[in-house]
Structure 1
């Protein structure tokens, strides 16, 4: 019997910040992991280098949503106003759902904190929604197929 494949589509996702669902985000960008490659010359050979794997780095994640409250800005400003090098860290879960609405893939983002908040672009001749963006940095993520 043929197996029915349930596809995960990019527009059906859920974001949870420290256990609280924040489904109002319309965009999530930057889920990227990159491994460095270090070239090392090998014993007298000058025509190539041996490539050794280095550390993995993770790009910042940007979340975008309609401006509905000040919680995200407050999170950034709270970290700045404490005048400390230890920001308030939160764990974030991004779940990509299949056609049935069930989680198909989950990114667990660990030790995240905001590094940038952008407010709405205000223009008298526009009828667009007021949007905010929050850029987060974090230690690492784990991707799980549910």
Structure 2
């Protein structure tokens, strides 16, 4: 008979309460370090695979993509110098957060590509008719989630983009005399950011 028992739900609750008591007197940084060390002690650590990610907008899944470029933010600043001090700035003045255009690309897919076309048609209607919400405010854009998965497709990280608008969609370049390469679609998106 094996001495190893499967932990029950009550065991997990007891462990969570004990963990909270252990970390009760710690600062946020100390708690973060303790959680990281506990996670690092596990046998299986989920690492993100850059070839495994999927995209959804609102409740609509746009499926998996081949590549995602432009997922970055720049903290723009301006140095402030004091008179007579020529070595280093006295302070850095915060200016704007600058988000790049997101570019998604993948092979055409009968279900996922149709979902993209549905979303684009909805956005085209609101774009042409300047859709307004019930408070007479201009439509604020969609919320989009880009989720990075591990080797088992479990979520490792998610970026929630706010105020998402389609910027450009490009279909495949078709050529009957070509090499028979995979037909690709490209979707470019502008957004208001993922940190706010």
Normalising by the smaller structure, the TM-score range is 0.7 to 0.9
Query: SS in structure 2 opposite 1:11?
Result: coil
Give the gaps of 5 or more residues in structure 1.
none
Q: Confirm or deny: 8 A CA contact 1:76 1:116 kept in the other structure.
A: no
Structure 1 residue 36 corresponds to structure 2 residue 76: yes
TM-score of the pair, normalised by structure 1: 0.79
Q: Confirm or deny: 8 A CA contact 2:52 2:64 kept in the other structure.
A: no
TM-score of the pair, normalised by structure 2: 0.61
Query: SS in structure 1 opposite 2:152?
Result: coil
Runs (4 or more) in structure 1 with deviation over 6 Å come to none
Which of the two has greater helix per residue?
A: 2
Query: SS in structure 1 opposite 2:121?
Result: helix
- 1: CA distance, partners of 2:107 / 2:89: 50
Structure 1 residue 134 corresponds to structure 2 residue 196: no
Question: Which of 75, 82, 92 does residue 129 from structure 2 map onto?
Answer: 82
Q: Confirm or deny: 8 A CA contact 2:164 2:191 kept in the other structure.
A: yes
Partner of residue 66, structure 1? 107
Give the gaps of 5 or more residues in structure 2.
1-39, 133-137
Structure 1 residue 115 corresponds to structure 2 residue 157: no
**Paired residue total:** 143
- Which moved further from structure 2: 46-55 or 92-101? 46-55
Which of the two has greater strand per residue?
A: 1
Greater RCO structure (CA 8 Å; 6+ sep): 1
In the superposition, relative to structure 1, how do residues 60 and 79 fare at CA in structure 2: closer, same or farther (>3 Å)? Answer: farther
The structure whose Rg is larger is 2
